[in-house]
């Protein structure tokens, strides 16, 4: 049996994953309970600062969420039983999209664009990640690929 372990990802690797993807999940508290919702996002990096930017409908659960949120992306390889995850914990705030060409430079381009007029960004206080690793790589033509 092959040995498997979880390994922490460094900040640069976490940021690279965040740059390469466009869909994540935001976790907020609603009526005292956690709610996790999928969103389109864009990583905004400027002047040495990093934010996660998203758009949503005005007045919905995300728009009215408390300031403290979690945001997560991951990649899963079911066949090889491996994967990685990046978790951003931070403060959610509203943004004026007219400020400093924000709209043209950092639009997360939501797949549902109808009425997505509330622009939000998460200012991270923590970006962490983990990757599930294994000692041996499975052969590319593993029998499980044909089942």
- Quickly list H helices, 8-114: 11-20, 102-106
Average pLDDT of span 96-110: 60
Output the average pLDDT for the chain. 83
Structure tokens at 39: 């969103």
CA 91, distance to chain mean position in Å, is 14
Q: Are 97 and 42 in contact (CB under 8 A)?
A: no
Which residue has tokens 């914990």?
A: 89
Strand ranges (DSSP E) for the chain? 4-9, 23-30, 33-40, 42-46, 49-56, 68-77, 82-94, 118-134
Give the pLDDT confidence score for residue 138 in this predicted structure.
54
* Residue 106 or 67, more confident: 67
Tens-place pLDDT, residues 19-65: 999 999 999 998 899 999 999 898 988 888 899 999 888 888 988 88
Tens-place pLDDT, residues 26-36: 999 988 999 99
Sketch the domain layout of the chain as residue ranges.
Answer: 4-133
pLDDT per position as a tens digit, 111-135 = 556 666 778 899 999 999 999 877 6
42-76 exposure pattern, b = at least 16 Cβ within 10 A, e = fewer = bbbeeeeebbbbbbbeeeeebbebeeebbbebbee
| Residue whose structure tokens are 């092959």 | 2
CB 56 within 8 A of CB 62: yes
Return the CATH number of the domain spanning residue range 4-133. Answer: 2.30.110.10
Q: Is the pLDDT of residue 7 over 70?
A: yes
Instruction: List Cβ neighbours of 103 (8 Å cut-off, separation of 6 or more).
Output: 97, 119
Q: Please give the pLDDT value at position 103.
A: 56
Read off the pLDDT of residues 64-77 as tens digits, 9 standing for 90 and up.
Answer: 888 999 999 999 98
């Amino acid at each position: 049996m092959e040995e498997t372990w979880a390994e922490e990802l460094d900040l640069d690797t976490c940021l690279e994953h965040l740059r390469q993807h466009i869909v994540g999940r935001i976790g907020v508290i609603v009526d005292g309970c956690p709610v996790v919702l999928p969103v389109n996002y864009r990583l905004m990096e400027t002047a040495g600062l990093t934010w996660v930017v998203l758009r949503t409908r005005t007045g919905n659960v995300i728009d009215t969420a408390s300031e403290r949120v979690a945001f997560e992306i991951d990649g899963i390889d079911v066949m090889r039983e491996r994967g990685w995850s990046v978790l951003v914990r931070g403060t959610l705030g509203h943004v004026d999209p007219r400020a400093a060409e924000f709209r043209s430079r950092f639009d997360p381009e939501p797949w549902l664009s109808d009425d997505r007029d509330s622009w939000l960004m998460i200012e991270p206080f923590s970006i962490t990640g983990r990757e599930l690793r294994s000692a041996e790589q499975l052969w590319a033509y593993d029998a499980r690929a044909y089942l």
